[in-house]
A and B are shown apart, each in its own frame.
Chain A
Amino acid sequence: MKYLCKTRVFFILVLTLCLSQLTPAQMSRHIAKDIPPPATRAARVQLTEKPSLELFRNNEAIIRWTSNNPGGTDEHFGVVNYGTDPKVLEQTVTSHIRLNRNHPCTVFRVRMGGLKPATTYYYTVDSMEANGKRDGVKSKITTSLK
């Protein structure tokens, strides 16, 4: 019984020690916000700057365009459908970006690799949410990329 008392005193001492480490003055008053739900999707996503070739080097190209902020999930992807036949854009490449909710416009840049030299490519652009839902950008002009 005596041992029990000693052990219990030890237990209380340890708890007191732990509690002393947790004084209110050391408690941060700040708590991270919960991850906010996806932003409201824009009613219509339109290009504000037409797609253009930002970089072409070796077998790699970067296509760049700007649209109004599409909203939805912050994690977003630029999508380029391309091919050598303007009627059949059978290949798709996506690149990740993160939306800035407070910016009215969003710059999309998509990296395309494995391009063949001296070949003309045609492409259209779109964007999509992290869940794969397309924003429905109407990229009317199919631009050649050589």
Chain B
Amino acid sequence: MVAQPDISYRVPTPSKHSILPSIPRKWACLTRLASHTGFRRRSIYRCLRRFGATPLISPGRLTLRQSAQLPEERRSSARAPRQLRYLQTTAPKQIMFLITGGSPSFLERSDDISPYTSKFDAFLKGTYTLTSDEMAGYNLFRGKANCNSCHLDGRSTAPTPPPPEGTAPDSVDTGAAASTAPPFTCFGYANLGLPKNPRDAFYYQTTPDSLGFTANPGGFTYTDYGLGTFLRSGFGAAPNPNSNWVQYAASSDGKFQTSTARNVALAPPRCPTTEAPGPYFQKEFFHNGYIKSLKQLVHFYNTRDVYPYAVESGECPAGTVEKVTCWPAPEVPQNQDMTIGKLGLTDTEEDQIVAFLQTLSDGYTKPYPFINTYTGACTTGGTAATQGNSTIIPASVLRRMAALQSAK
């Protein structure tokens, strides 16, 4: 399971589609629809459109043509059959639009998915006191480590400048909260220079499955260019809807959207952490799951440019330890974000940031009702720094194995 906690807290920015300020009006519109004798299609379209999402039915067909027919429809003696035909054909589609297009949006915005019930949210409300490590991690998150340049924490982080501009000590939060519900993402895109993960099953799906579908004909030659792939309508991407965007593909290669840091450490109570020695719940981080623990994640941000090696995963030089003192070459070397890479954090400071990230898990002030339903096994042993390294097989060996498998 790749930890991409980006479904929750994905309230759209800008918020022009926000439904919250006008809920009563929209509910009223739906109520009117349910009781309306005419079942005017244009009204239904307008009403459902307010719930935000792409309609399944062309708006032109509904707004222009149908609206022009409405007065005649009202006068027509054959009105009832038309309504019946409408109810049998278009209405179910509109309802499906509401269910398939509108409801997920509601769900994503709902307290069930984005509840803001973490320790950190309680801290912002003044009902929880961060421990010394958590507080130190928070100060690093918004200070030295500069995490909140992308994972926006909604608060003024202004470490008061040194004299003569300011007088307060560094890293003192002297500002007011800009948001009481920070999303911990800027919704932007960046190429962090993550190495390729040759253990991703996708690289081995080179032959047709039982349905005749071949997920990845290119095997190991496939490179995930992220946003760049989308902009040039590359393999596996949805078509780029605007040909003018193609010009930005090259400068967007390797970029992926910044995920929220919220719930990055979420784990079931029975395996309460993501970090070895545990008992821990094994998660995978970033878009390709190369990173196996939050410790590794922070260490990657901290040392990507300190221990770079022009090798693939599993082939770090002797005397180095992958993910500790060796970072294999990035999958997409161009456009790398340089906000990170050498943060100068100590080992203790890395641990403190991990402690802070663990305060971002929801369910503290209002536990999830089904949080205890996980019945799988926990993993134990090892250290968070080398978590998952025992299963690393050199990329060249994996490639040979894949070639043999394809030849069979």
Name A residues whose Cβ lies closer than 8 Å to a Cβ of B: 1, 3-4, 7-8, 11-12, 14-16, 18-19, 21-22, 24-35, 54-55, 57-58, 62, 64, 74-75, 78, 95-100, 102-104, 107-111, 113
- Contact present for A27 and B159 (CB under 8 Å): no
Q: Is the CB of B30 within 8 A of A98?
A: no
Whether A102 pairs with B114 at a CB distance below 8 angstroms is no
Tell me whether B338 is interfacial, beta carbon within 8 Å: yes
List 8 A-B pairs, minimum CB-CB distance, nearest first: A30-B181, A100-B149, A109-B338, A102-B157, A34-B14, A95-B338, A32-B11, A104-B161
Say whether chain A's binding surface is mostly helix, strand, loop, or mixed.
mixed
Assess whether B222 is interfacial by the CB under 8 Å rule. Answer: no
- Checking A7, A27, A33, A104 against B87 with a beta-carbon cut-off of 8 angstroms, the contacting residue is A7
**What B residues does A102 contact at CB under 8 A?**
142, 148, 156-158, 175
In the assembly, what is the distance between CA of A27 and CA of B350, in Å? 36
Q: Which of B22-67 contact A (CB under 8 A)?
A: 23, 27, 30-31, 33-35
Is there contact, CB below 8 Å, between A98 and B190?
yes
What is the distance, in angstroms, from A105's C-beta to the closest C-beta of chain B?
8
Chain B residues whose CB sits within 8 angstroms of the CB of A109 once the complex forms? 305, 338, 341-342
CB neighbours (8 Å) of A108 from chain B are: 338
B94-124 interface with A by 8 A CB criterion: 95, 98-99, 102-103, 106, 109-112, 114-116
A28/B335 in contact, CB under 8 A: no
Among residues of B, the one whose C-beta sits closest to the C-beta of A96 is B337
List the B residue with the shortest CB-CB distance to A110: B338
Asked whether B12 is an interface residue with its Cβ less than 8 Å from the other chain, the reply is yes
Known pairs A11-B95, A108-B338. 20 more at Cβ < 8 A? A4-B83, A7-B88, A12-B34, A18-B98, A18-B102, A26-B106, A28-B111, A30-B181, A31-B15, A34-B14, A78-B338, A95-B337, A96-B335, A96-B338, A98-B149, A98-B190, A100-B149, A102-B157, A103-B157, A104-B165
Given A12-B34, A25-B111, A32-B15: A100 touches B91 (CB 8 Å cut-off): no
- Give Cα A32–Cα B165 distance, bound, in whole angstroms: 33
Do B339 and A98 touch (CB < 8 A)?
yes
B186 at the interface (CB under 8 A from A): yes
- A27 touching B30 by the CB < 8 A rule? no
* B198, chain A: closest CB distance, angstroms: 22
Q: Is B308 in contact with chain A by the CB < 8 A criterion?
A: yes
Please report the C-alpha to C-alpha distance between residue A64 and residue B344 in the assembled complex, in whole angstroms: 13
CB contacts (< 8 Å) of B180 on chain A: these are 30
Q: Verify B111–A4 contact, CB threshold 8 A.
A: no
Least Cβ–Cβ distance between A102 and chain B, in angstroms: 4
Interface residues on B, range: 35 or more
Is the beta-carbon distance between A100 and B103 smaller than 8 angstroms? no
Could you tell me the distance between the alpha carbons of A4 and B187 in the complex, rounded to whole angstroms? 47
B238 contacts partner chain A, Cβ-Cβ < 8 Å? no
Query: In the complex, how many angstroms separate the beta carbon of A43 from the nearest chain B beta carbon?
Result: 13
In the complex, chain B residues whose CB is within 8 Å of the CB of A26? 106, 110-112
Query: A99, B87: Cβ atoms under 8 Å?
Result: no
B229 at the interface (CB under 8 A from A): no
What separation, in Å, do the CA atoms of A54 and B333 have in the docked complex?
18
Asked if B405 lies at the interface with its beta carbon under 8 angstroms from chain A, I say no
B140 to chain A, nearest CB (A): 13
Q: Which residues on the B side are within 8 Å of A31 (C-beta)?
A: 11, 15, 18, 20
Interface residue ranges of B138-159 to A (CB < 8 Å): 142, 146, 148-150, 156-159
- A14 to chain B: closest residue by CB: B95
Tell me which residues across on chain B come within 8 A of A15, comparing CB atoms. Answer: 30, 33-34, 95
Q: Could you list some 6 contacts between A and B, CB below 8 A?
A: A1-B80, A15-B30, A27-B111, A28-B11, A32-B183, A96-B335
Which listed residue (A3, A18, A104, A113) contacts B159, Cβ 8 A?
A: A104
The contact of A54 among B20, B103, B305, by CB within 8 Å, is: B305
- Whether B84 lies near A4 (C-beta < 8 A) is yes
- In the bound complex, what is the Cα–Cα distance between A26 and B149 (angstroms)? 31
Chain B residues within an 8 Å CB radius of A30: 11, 114, 116, 180-181
